[in-house]
């Protein structure tokens, strides 16, 4: 991949930059601006170079339709506050407003096109349709910078097709993400511990299979743990269970044992009679989950055991909360894992998505961790060994 410095003198040049500004919203209020903050170093670098900057980004899943609730206006406003400058937000993606907004830019100024996913061609499976939209994007710029790591695993017009049409480079965010992932996959310092949570085993099948080969220990929490418990013969009550994955999980447990790797599961869980924030929590051992209860977090004994394994590691990658972390009664496991990651004497990586939002919600600062990824899905696919289209096209 080429760096921004490889693009030469950018003074007065129009730089199209793909950012990931897909932030969580409560109405029009941003509840976690981590991804916006992560885009600042590259944008400042381009401003200092005197470029005319045109930001392409998405928000939510409008599926090719113009939906006001998915407007990038809140992101543009917050970005302007963080950079202490006006962000000129176009009223459309590639229409008259976009053309006028781009044409009005002076050196060092920033424009933002509306949500690229308002355009049906952005996510189209039809290559010609995507290419046609990418041509319209390309008409606005002289060079392209890829800095939206959270979308580099997608073959989309503003990520993949546009990069093929202009001189391109990776932004500093993408460079940093790839460097960390290389450390995790090529020569991780041992012990190497991977902590996986989240709802479903099926979302992480390929990454589990690949990591059994490279990691020393896999620690399993979240809703997915109950499929592992079922594979061991435990009853899981009303807990989330993917019955069609039980045999696959049994295979992973056998595979890990044969390879001399550890898969660590909880010994206790916190259960409740219903999926509600104010449901009454009870701690039970994993072999005594009541039939009329569902597990919503790992228990305190497990949280302590997980933390002990994590703090002894030299490399840790974590993706997925241990329980329903947005509810205080069921956030203890996630908080214990996050705290342990801050104490790692080595590389600690929070793998984006729900994990990144959870650590901030729980009061942790980004700089307490070695790295917080901006792209959970992209990180996982990299760790699965997949080629990411948005990276492969660069250079």
Active centre residues (catalytic): 35, 200, 353, 377
Question: Binding residue per annotation — 47?
Answer: no
Question: Binding residue per annotation — 18?
Answer: no
Closest C-alpha to 224, from 265, 279, 194: 265
- Listed in sequence order, the DSSP H helices in the chain are 34-38, 40-48, 73-83, 96-103, 127-138, 172-185, 205-214, 225-231, 246-258, 300-311, 332-342, 353-361, 376-383, 389-392
What does each C-alpha distance from 193 to 9, 29, 341 come to in angstroms?
A: 43, 36, 11
Give the tokens for residue 292: 């009329």
Question: Binding residue per annotation — 376?
Answer: no
Q: Is 170 helix (H, G, I), strand (E, B) or coil?
A: strand
Question: Binding residue per annotation — 353?
Answer: yes
Question: Binding residue per annotation — 35?
Answer: yes
Residue 271, beta-bridge partner list: 282, 295
User: What is the distance between the alpha carbons of residues 310 and 321, in angstroms, rounded to a whole number?
Assistant: 15
Which residue reads 């061991």 in tokens?
A: 232
Give the tokens for residue 195: 């902590």
Give the tokens for residue 96: 């008259």
Question: Binding residue per annotation — 154?
Answer: yes
Please list, residue by residue across 2-14, b when 16 or more beta carbons sit within 10 angstroms of its beta carbon and e when fewer do.
eebeebeebeebb
User: What is the distance between the alpha carbons of residues 22 and 348, in angstroms, rounded to a whole number?
Assistant: 24
Residue 369: how many CA atoms within 13 Å on its side-chain side?
Answer: 27
Question: Binding residue per annotation — 60?
Answer: yes
Question: Binding residue per annotation — 142?
Answer: no
- Count of other CB atoms within 10 angstroms of residue 175: 18
Question: Binding residue per annotation — 221?
Answer: no
Question: Binding residue per annotation — 58?
Answer: yes
Question: Binding residue per annotation — 61?
Answer: yes
Question: Binding residue per annotation — 161?
Answer: no
Give the tokens for residue 389: 């289209």
Q: Is 372 helix (H, G, I), strand (E, B) or coil?
A: strand
Query: Who contacts 210 (Cβ-Cβ below 8 Å, separation ≥6)?
Result: 383, 384, 385
- Helix-then-strand count for the chain, H and E: 14, 17
User: What is the distance between the alpha carbons of residues 152 and 156, in angstroms, rounded to a whole number?
Assistant: 9
The answer to whether residues 374 and 35 touch, using CB atoms and an 8 Å cutoff, is yes
User: What is the distance between the alpha carbons of residues 134 and 188, in angstroms, rounded to a whole number?
Assistant: 38
Q: Is the bond preceding residue 245 a cis peptide, omega within 30 degrees?
A: no
Question: Binding residue per annotation — 326?
Answer: yes
Binding site listing: 20-22, 35, 58-61, 117, 154, 204, 295, 326, 352-355
Binding site listing for substrate: 20-22, 35, 58-61, 117, 154
Binding site listing for ATP: 204, 295, 326, 352-355
Binding site listing for (2R)-3-phosphoglycerate: 35, 117, 154
């Amino acid at each position: 991949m080429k760096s921004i410095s490889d693009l030469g003198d950018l003074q007065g040049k129009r730089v199209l930059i793909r950012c990931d500004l897909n932030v969580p919203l409560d109405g029009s209020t941003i509840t976690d601006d981590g991804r916006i903050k992560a885009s600042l170093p590259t944008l400042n670098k381009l401003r200092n170079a005197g470029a005319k900057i045109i930001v392409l980004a998405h928000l939510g899943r409008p599926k090719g339709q113009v939906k006001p609730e998915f407007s990038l206006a809140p992101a543009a406003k917050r970005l302007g506050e963080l950079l202490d400058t006006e962000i000129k937000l176009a009223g459309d993606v590639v229409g008259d407003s976009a053309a006028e907004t781009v044409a009005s830019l002076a050196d060092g100024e920033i424009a933002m096109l509306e949500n690229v996913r308002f355009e049906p061609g952005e996510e189209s499976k039809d290559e010609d349709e995507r290419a046609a939209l990418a041509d319209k994007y390309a008409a606005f710029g002289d060079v392209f910078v890829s800095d939206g790591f959270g979308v580099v695993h997608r073959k989309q017009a503003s990520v993949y097709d546009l990069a093929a049409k202009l001189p391109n480079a990776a932004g500093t965010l993408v460079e940093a993400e790839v460097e960390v992932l290389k450390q995790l996959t090529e020569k991780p310092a041992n012990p190497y511990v991977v902590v996986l949570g989240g709802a479903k085993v099926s979302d992480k099948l390929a990454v589990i299979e690949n990591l059994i080969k490279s990691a020393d220990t896999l620690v399993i929490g979240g809703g997915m743990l109950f499929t592992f418990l079922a594979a061991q013969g435990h009853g899981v009550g009303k807990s989330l269970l993917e019955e069609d994955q039980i045999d696959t999980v049994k295979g992973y447990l056998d595979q890990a044992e044969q390879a001399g790797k550890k898969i660590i599961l909880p010994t206790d869980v916190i259960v409740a009679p219903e999926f509600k924030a104010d449901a009454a929590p009870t701690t039970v051992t994993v072999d005594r989950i009541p039939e009329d209860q569902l597990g919503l977090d790992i228990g305190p004994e497990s949280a302590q055991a997980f933390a002990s394994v994590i703090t002894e590691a030299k490399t840790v990658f974590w993706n997925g909360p241990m329980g329903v972390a947005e509810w205080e009664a069921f956030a203890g496991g996630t908080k214990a894992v996050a705290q342990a990651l801050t104490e790692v004497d080595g590389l600690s990586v929070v793998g984006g998505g729900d994990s990144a939002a959870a650590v901030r919600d729980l009061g942790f600062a980004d700089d307490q961790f070695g790295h917080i990824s901006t792209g959970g899905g992209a990180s996982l696919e990299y760790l699965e060994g997949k080629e990411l289209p948005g990276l492969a096209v660069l250079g």
